[in-house]
A = this chain, B = another copy of it.
Amino acid sequence: MNDSSIQLDSRERTLLRTLIESYISDGQPVGSRNLARASGLKVSAATVRNVMADLEDRGLIQAPHTSAGRVPTTAGYRLFVDSLLEVRKPSREQIDAIESRFDPGASTQDLLDSASSVLSQVTRMAGMVRLPRHRNVALSQIEFLRLGEGRVLAILVIDGREVQNRVLELERDFSQDDLQRMANYLNAHLAGKSLHTVRAELLREMREVRDDLDAQMLAAIDLGEQALGDEDPDDVVVAGQTQLLGYEELADMERLRQLLEAFNEKREILGILDQCIRGDRVQIFIGRESGLDWFENCSVVTAPYSVDGEVVGVLGVIGPTRMSYDRVVPIVDVTARLLGSALNVRGESPDSQ
């Protein structure tokens, strides 16, 4: 990444990796003697001390106080996950265990819930799943129901399975018969097309044929336009926040509170996940890299998931920076894949339920 990392020779790399692994596994600053032994290198502790001094100069590790062992810095972790990390492949059993949690017959919402609780339970950290963007889902049907003076309930059936409804506030009042006719008109023209297409088509018609159509149809188009407007559900599913209470490096109450608050608000979580949606592999955020100060001592591991070859969302976990990346990364990875295929299977056979 940056030039200081390029200059690391093989021994330095080995020692840095061993140091970080050791620190991750027991949370204690690691000293030269132990590091020399653990590294497997045939060098003395004194030599290791010299190397450690170099690494400290480059900002990769630091000593909490004089004559304590060394601890990785954010930059150290960064280098570690970028070029030193060797992930363990998840075992067959693990994969099966995760897969068994995805019921192919379940609704989208249930699948997302499963994914985030699987993530949280398997990693013992907090799991989160960004809702899938609606890609080329087909509009099956649209209906209107008059609620009262100028208030209309629009019901969209998508993909023959999911239902959304919205209350529209209109300028003028329509009778139920009017509404029925408009729904018929829209259904005849639009049913089966993707939401995207439908919107585009409505806008086009509105511009092109404004003068040729009778008022009724114009109103219908306008209504459809309103009903379909702004449809992406900007949300995220989280699970297992409380797992984070177990990590003593997060024991600062004020920080912890900000962290949990972020999960409640969901806004910042959403921002983080949206940053990760570009890129097609597992991504890792370390500490404050994301710019949030409550993120000290926390890291995020994310992976995008896709349906039909197209990335539709991101999922991931959030936990202490001192986490077993070699274990967590493949779990997140495989969960993303499995969620993708579960959604995929579902989308192909809407009648399977």
Chain B residues with Cβ below 8 Å from A264 are: 241-242
A245 to chain B, nearest CB (A): 4
Chain B residues with Cβ below 8 Å from A246 are: 253, 257
Chain B residues with Cβ below 8 Å from A241 are: 260, 264
Chain B residues with Cβ below 8 Å from A32 are: none
Q: Does A82 contact B (CB under 8 A)?
A: no
- In chain A, residues 216-248, which have Cβ atoms closer than 8 Å to a Cβ of chain B? 241-242, 245-246
Pick from B147, B148, B157: contact of A145, CB under 8 Å = B157
B253 pairs with A245, CB closer than 8 A: yes
Chain B residues with Cβ below 8 Å from A253 are: 245-246, 251
Q: Does A256 contact B (CB under 8 A)?
A: yes
- In chain A, residues 325-353, which have Cβ atoms closer than 8 Å to a Cβ of chain B? 350-351, 353
A113 to chain B, nearest CB (A): 12
Please count how many residues in chain A sit with their CB below 8 Å of the partner chain's CB atoms.
Answer: 30
A138 to B266, CA, bound (A): 36
A161 pairs with B143, CB closer than 8 A: no
A264 to B240, CA, bound (A): 9
A17 to chain B, nearest CB (A): 31
A151 to B145, CA, bound (A): 20
Q: Mark A140-176, 1 if CB is under 8 A from B, else 0.
A: 1101010111010101010011010101000000000
From A167, A242, A251, name the one whose CB has the most chain B CB atoms within 10 angstroms. A242
Closest to A145 in B: B143
Q: Interface of chain A, helix or strand or loop or mixed? A: mixed
Q: Does A177 contact B (CB under 8 A)?
A: no
- In chain A, residues 242-271, which have Cβ atoms closer than 8 Å to a Cβ of chain B? 242, 245-246, 251, 253, 256-257, 260-261, 264
A136 to chain B, nearest CB (A): 19
B157 pairs with A155, CB closer than 8 A: no
Chain B residues with Cβ below 8 Å from A160 are: 147-148
Sample 18 A-B pairs with CB under 8 A, ordered by A number.
A143-B145, A145-B155, A145-B157, A147-B157, A147-B160, A148-B160, A148-B350, A149-B351, A153-B155, A153-B157, A155-B155, A163-B165, A241-B264, A242-B260, A245-B253, A245-B256, A245-B257, A245-B260
Chain B residues with Cβ below 8 Å from A147 are: 140, 157, 160-161, 163
A160 to B148, CA, bound (A): 7
A84 to B279, CA, bound (A): 64
A246 to B155, CA, bound (A): 45
- In chain A, residues 262-292, which have Cβ atoms closer than 8 Å to a Cβ of chain B? 264
Chain B residues with Cβ below 8 Å from A153 are: 155, 157, 163
A251 to chain B, nearest CB (A): 7
A227 to chain B, nearest CB (A): 14
A239 to B257, CA, bound (A): 13
A148 pairs with B256, CB closer than 8 A: no
Not counting A147-B163, A153-B163, A241-B264, a sample of 11 additional A-B residue pairs whose C-beta atoms are within 8 angstroms of each other reads: A141-B145, A145-B155, A147-B160, A149-B351, A165-B165, A242-B257, A242-B261, A242-B264, A245-B253, A246-B253, A260-B260
A256 to B250, CA, bound (A): 14
Closest to A353 in B: B151
Q: Mark A304-324, 1 if CB is under 8 A from B, else 0.
A: 000000000000000000000
